[in-house]
Chain A
Amino acid sequence: MIVPNKWGFPDLGLGVGLRTVHYDYILKKRPRVDWFEILSENYLDTDGRPMRILEQVAERYPVALHGVSLSIGSTDPLDFEYLKKLKRLAEKVQAHWLGDHVCWTGVAGRNGHDLLPVPLNEETLRHIVKRIRTVQDYLERPLILENASTYVTFANSTMPEQEFIARMAEEADCGLLLDVNNVYVSCRNHDWDPWAYLDGIPYHRVTQIHLAGHTDNGTHCIDTHNARVVDEVWKYYAEVHRRTGGRATLLEWDADIPAFPEVHAEVLKAKKFRREAMKRERAAR
């Protein structure tokens, strides 16, 4: 059964992460891309060229913000200076929504600039839920939080990640950004069942989907965002599409970035999987 988005956030279609190497192409050629996701931190403290480019992009395309520094899982106090800038940026570019990750980036006043995993237990859940509520009150909009790809699990975790995420989203009343490549990477790394993971997601809260490539090192996978989306991840995507009927979909490509048309072509492959998923859904009714 298709589950609509709780807040009525639109399916913006198939978008691409805005990257500097593509600035000139995008401004000159004005490609017919459905939407762009921008990395919030790249624009919070600059009033130079990146901001001018972003203003032009936001004039022509729908934009959503995606951050990496909220550190919602950290036990350090929330950084309201950061949130203030984030709120201002979201208003400036009229962002459709604001996202970040279920993770922490540092404690004791430090920042490692990495998306670090949290123990999945009741204490963490209570802590994160409280912070999400505070952030949402401050930003006056729901947060859209992404399942990060992780490389360790903790001895004091007591629940599966999908359960943690589902309860977090329900109790904090926040949205979800489901990264299907991260589902693949984390499940590979932790010997989890990806289909059970996907079964546990509350799809009425899923607002956006991420696609990306990764590096398979045999013993484990690394979320490198430097390659095409693998077939298995497309299967997950099709399944999520079947359940949601369509959510804003975004391809992340952050290393060894090819020319813009190639990146765009990769995300456009989603059309085929969307069509096939809906055919299956109709046939099942």
Chain B
Amino acid sequence: MSARRDKHDAGRKIRGAAPRRGRGSEAAPARIEGLVFAGHAGGLPKVESTRPRAPLRAGLEAVENWMQAVITNAGGLGDGERSADARRHIDRGAGTIEQVILPSRNQSSRERLQIYANAYFWRLIDILGEEYPTVRQTAGPRQFPRLAVEYLKAHPSRSYSLNFLSVKFPEFVRSGATRLPRREFLADIATVERSMEDVFDAPDVKPLTPKEWKRIPMSAWMSKRLRMTPAMRLLELRYPVNEYISDVREGRKVEFPRKAEQRLIIFRRNFSVWRAPLTPIRFKLLSALQSGATLPEAFAACAALKGFDAEKFTGALKEWFQGWASDGLFCGVE
């Protein structure tokens, strides 16, 4: 098997440390053409002065829910302040922000809260971009942040871990929930990049050793099932994205490939993530085994393929299995 070593395994992003806060001046609205998720844009009510009002008696739960609603509103602080979500928790009319957040000597209440609003989107866009570098590069610097923000609006993080932030991203890209040129192509790339993340973190299960292989009696092969490594994904794609992804990640010049089916295996060996294209018959065989078929059942699934050549198939089996075994794809027999 011609496996392709990927840069992905070279390192691992630091998640969660020192959350990034904006770019440049946090007081400036962070704009992506046509998209406002921060700042004074979005028609904030002008607050002439902080009129003396009753002291803020909001409880902790109200303050936290209000703050989250305001700083995570993609329309900016003004929209956040006016949103039903925020007003459900604290509503003191125009200038609620000034009633909840104190100014400092150098910054207004809004400028201070803006720091958290900027940080929310930029940080998560960055994380999505790190997990989907080829999608980011292909979509481009205007389209990708928009796509990411739409995704974050639809699927805000609900886990303590950033590892799970983007699990629905490929599905979101494919769904058509947002206008996107080359949707299918991007969805295929996202599917591959997500699978690489999953394989990178998958449980570590020891593969069968040559000694263990030899101990399995021939008679067992007809009824037993091979247990496959959890660090493996098999993908059927509409575009041949494998080379394209490598080219983008390695900084080579790229052209968009024409639509053509591609089957891929993504797996981990020695803690590195590898990708390789598979022929339809090898893909069918591995898919059947992965879904729990016995060897005879898996062979039968292959025989049902159009153009199946029994002689060629049986002749190639030994080499295929040896390759897959040395890649550590099998970890038990049951």
Q: Which residues from chain A sit less than 8 Å from chain B, CB to CB? A: 17, 19-21, 23, 39, 41-42, 44-52, 67-69, 71, 73-75, 79, 82, 104-116, 118-119, 123-124, 127, 151-157, 189-191, 212, 217-220, 222-225, 252, 254-255
Whether B157 and A113, one on each chain, are in contact in the complex, defined by CB atoms closer than 8 angstroms, is: yes
8 tightest A-B contacts by CB?
Answer: A69-B160, A49-B271, A225-B18, A219-B106, A68-B16, A46-B201, A75-B61, A20-B12
Q: How far is the CB of A19 from chain B (nearest CB, A)?
A: 6
> Are B105's CB and A191's CB within 8 A?
yes
B-side contacts of A23, CB under 8 Å: 11
Measured in the bound complex, the distance between the Cα atoms of B64 and A127 in whole Å is 13
Please report whether the interface of chain A is mostly helix, strand, loop or mixed according to DSSP: loop
B209 within 8 A of A: no
Is A127 touching B158 in the complex (CB atoms < 8 A)? Answer: no
Q: Which residue of B lies closest to A41 (CB)?
A: B16
Q: What 6 new A-B contacts, CB under 8 Å, besides A154-B101, A222-B115? A: A41-B161, A44-B160, A155-B102, A212-B18, A222-B21, A222-B26
User: How far, in angstroms, from A223 to B19 measured CA to CA in the complex?
Assistant: 8
Using known A-B contacts A49-B9, A123-B60, A219-B106, determine if residue A152 contacts B101 with beta carbons closer than 8 Å: yes
Docked pose: A111 CA to B15 CA in angstroms: 13
Please determine whether A19 and B203 come into contact, CB atoms closer than 8 angstroms.
no
B60 A114 Cβ-Cβ under 8 A: no
Does B17 sit at the interface, judged by CB under 8 A?
yes
Chain A: which residue is nearest B109 at the CB level?
A: A152
CB of B123 within 8 Å of the partner chain: yes
Known: A20-B12, A104-B64. A112 touches B72 (CB 8 A): yes
Q: How far is the CB of B115 from chain A (nearest CB, A)?
A: 4
- The answer to whether A113 and B19 have CB atoms under 8 Å apart is yes
> Which stretch (B39-47, B50-58, B184-192, B326-334) binds chain A?
B50-58
Closest to B106 in A: A219
| Residue pair A69, B161 in contact (C-beta under 8 Å) | yes
Q: Does B112 contact A (CB under 8 A)?
A: yes
Output the least CB separation between B167 and chain A (Å). Answer: 11
* Contact indicator B102/A254 (Cβ below 8 Å): no
Binding site for A on B (CB under 8 A): 9, 11-22, 25-27, 55-61, 63-65, 67-68, 71-72, 99-102, 104-107, 109, 111-113, 115-116, 119-120, 123-124, 127, 156-165, 200-204, 231, 268, 271-272
- Closest B residue, CB atoms, query A106: B68
Q: Are B16 and A119 in contact (CB under 8 A)?
A: no
Instruction: Tell whether A110 pairs with B158 under 8 Å between CB atoms, given A39-B17, A42-B16, A48-B202.
Output: yes
Structural contact, B159 and A111, CB atoms closer than 8 A: yes
- Distance, CA A201 to CA B25, complexed state (A): 32
Give Cα A74–Cα B64 distance, bound, in whole angstroms. Answer: 7
Q: Complex: how many Å from CA A114 to CA B9? A: 26
| CB neighbours of A74 from chain B (8 A) | 64
Interface centre among B25, B120, B160 (most CB of A within 10 A): B160
Looking at the complex, which one of A47, A123, A218 makes contact with B202 (CB distance below 8 Å)? A47
Closest to A226 in B: B18
A153 to B, closest residue via Cβ: B102
Q: What are 18 pairs between A and B in contact, CB < 8 Å? A: A20-B12, A42-B14, A42-B16, A48-B271, A67-B16, A68-B17, A75-B64, A106-B68, A111-B158, A111-B160, A113-B15, A155-B99, A155-B101, A156-B57, A218-B106, A220-B26, A224-B20, A255-B20
Residues of B within 8 A of A73 (CB): 60, 64
Q: Is the CB of B158 within 8 A of A48?
A: no
In the complex, A67→B15 CA distance in Å? 10
CA–CA, A71 to B245, complex, Å? 37
Cα–Cα, bound, A127→B201 (Å): 35
- Taking CB atoms, residues of chain B closer than 8 Å to A105 are 160
Chain A proximity of B119: nearest CB distance (Å): 6
Q: Are B162 and A113 in contact, CB atoms less than 8 angstroms apart?
A: yes
* Chain A residues within 8 Å of B163, by CB: 45-46
Please indicate the chain A residues that have their CB under 8 angstroms from the CB of B105 in the complex: 191
Residues of A close to B100: CB separation below 8 A: 154-156
B19, A39: Cβ atoms closer than 8 Å: no
Please measure, in the bound complex, the distance between the C-alpha atom of A48 and the C-alpha atom of B202, giving whole angstroms: 6
Measured between beta carbons, the chain A residues less than 8 angstroms from B27 are 219
Out of B65, B165, B201, name the residue touching A47 (CB < 8 Å): B201
| Min C-beta distance of B193 to chain A, whole Å | 16
**B18 and A254 contacting across the interface, CB-CB below 8 Å:** yes
Do B67 and A155 have beta carbons less than 8 Å apart? no
Complex formed: what's the CA distance from A220 to B12 in Å?
31
